[in-house]
Amino acid sequence: MAKQLSTNDLAVAAAILRGGGLVAFPTETVFGLGADATSPDAISRIFKAKGRPSDNPLIVHLAEFDQLNEVCEGVTPIAEKLLQRFAPGPLTVVLPKKPCICSAATANLSSVAVRFPSHPTARSLLKQVALPIAAPSANRSGSPSATTWQSVLRDLDGRIDAIVCDEACALGLESTVVDCTDNDTPILLRSGHVTLEDLQTVVPNIRTLGSLTSVAMANSPGLRHRHYQPRARVRLCESMVELADDEKPRSAYIGLGSDSLTELGLVQLCTSVEDYAMNLYEFFRRCDASGMEIIWCQRVPERGVGLALMDRLYRASDRSG
């Protein structure tokens, strides 16, 4: 059984991490499953607990900017500019790695992904540990990320040492990941709450994966794997579709708006794209818990946070991988 810690118990959580244990903790995006990024044993336990393919590298979390030089070989000027503008916060930069980060954490890549979370609990824990902490999202591999501690426990209890119980994550989608290893052309590998438009104000020439070759795609291993999928089938729609009466009790809907959809099994009406993003994964989990077979998800325009939301919806609805 995982120890359930409160935000007053961060010294206990830090001691577990320093001893090579696994601790789930909240961040502003989703819950992370932390372990010492310099310990091959601790890192192998993360992959085992999640059932994560070993070729999918982890993000290293830091509290202080001056720790960056301990884990990265050369901080490119572009990475520095991005971090100055968007960190601490939901931005991850990929840079050349230093040997102290164990190779299993980065799936043997020569680069390392680094993020400075802004969540006060995460920051305080990272400060107390004073080690680089690798933390993938705290869910079973392939499932939706967990945005509440209860969802973390449902996925990982019995497989991890402790969890820091705190409020639900405010943003609800994983961080924006930017490959900064080539200083001339940064590449957006995963969209998030630091939006493409935000990034373009600092690096107007940033490329997106749509314009990349398969060689470049191979550098973003996370994209090869099945992601964010509930058990129920996810279908995208422009607005609520007409359903036969016998389908309604097993169908769910999430989207913007205030239409009354009372005959459906589960409905989540969101007040904004941000609200939709915050609620999406927990809604997927509620749908699975109550035996929904189809989850209809309303499309949103692919700009701002809508780009990240649609990215996750496409992946959740893709049954090919």
User: Which residues form the interface with Mg ion (CB under 5 A)?
Assistant: 137
Instruction: Please state the closest distance from residue 28 (CB atom) to Mg ion, in A.
Output: 15
Q: Where are the alpha helices (DSSP H) in the chain?
A: 10-18, 40-50, 68-71, 77-86, 120-129, 149-156, 196-202, 214-218, 273-289, 305-317
Q: What angle do CA 223, 106, 312 make, to 5 degrees?
A: 25
From residue 58 to residue 87, what is the string marking binding to ligand TXA with x (rule CB under 6 A)? xx----------------------------
Q: What is the token pair recorded at 317? A: 């609805």
Instruction: Please state the closest distance from residue 297 (CB atom) to ligand TXA, in A.
Output: 20
CB-CB contact of 187 with 178 (8 Å): yes
From residue 125 to residue 164, what is the string marking binding to ligand TXA with x (rule CB under 6 A)? ----------xxx---------------------------
Count of residues that bind ligand TXA according to CB under 6 A: 27
Q: Which residues are paired to 23 by β-bridges?
A: 34, 162
Instruction: Please state the closest distance from residue 136 (CB atom) to Mg ion, in A.
Output: 5
Closer residue to Mg ion in complex, CB, 30/297: 30
Task: Please identify which residue in 16, 102, 160, 189 interacts with ligand TXA, judged by CB under 6 A.
Answer: 189
Task: Please identify which residue in 175, 191, 195, 298 interacts with ligand TXA, judged by CB under 6 A.
Answer: 175
Task: Please identify which residue in 10, 47, 57, 307 interacts with ligand TXA, judged by CB under 6 A.
Answer: 57
Which sign, positive or negative, has the C-alpha torsion 78, 83, 86, 92?
positive
Which residue from 259, 263, 265, 260 is spatially nearest to 293, judged by alpha carbons?
Answer: 265
Q: Which residues are paired to 255 by β-bridges?
A: 269
Task: Please identify which residue in 38, 106, 279, 298 interacts with ligand TXA, judged by CB under 6 A.
Answer: 106
Pairing of strands 207-208, 187-190: parallel
Q: What angle do CA 168, 171, 172 make, to 5 degrees?
A: 70
Closer residue to ligand TXA in complex, CB, 188/267: 188
Residues making contact with ligand TXA (CB under 6 A): 27, 29-30, 32, 56-59, 92, 94, 106, 109, 111-113, 115, 135-137, 174-175, 177, 189-190, 220-222
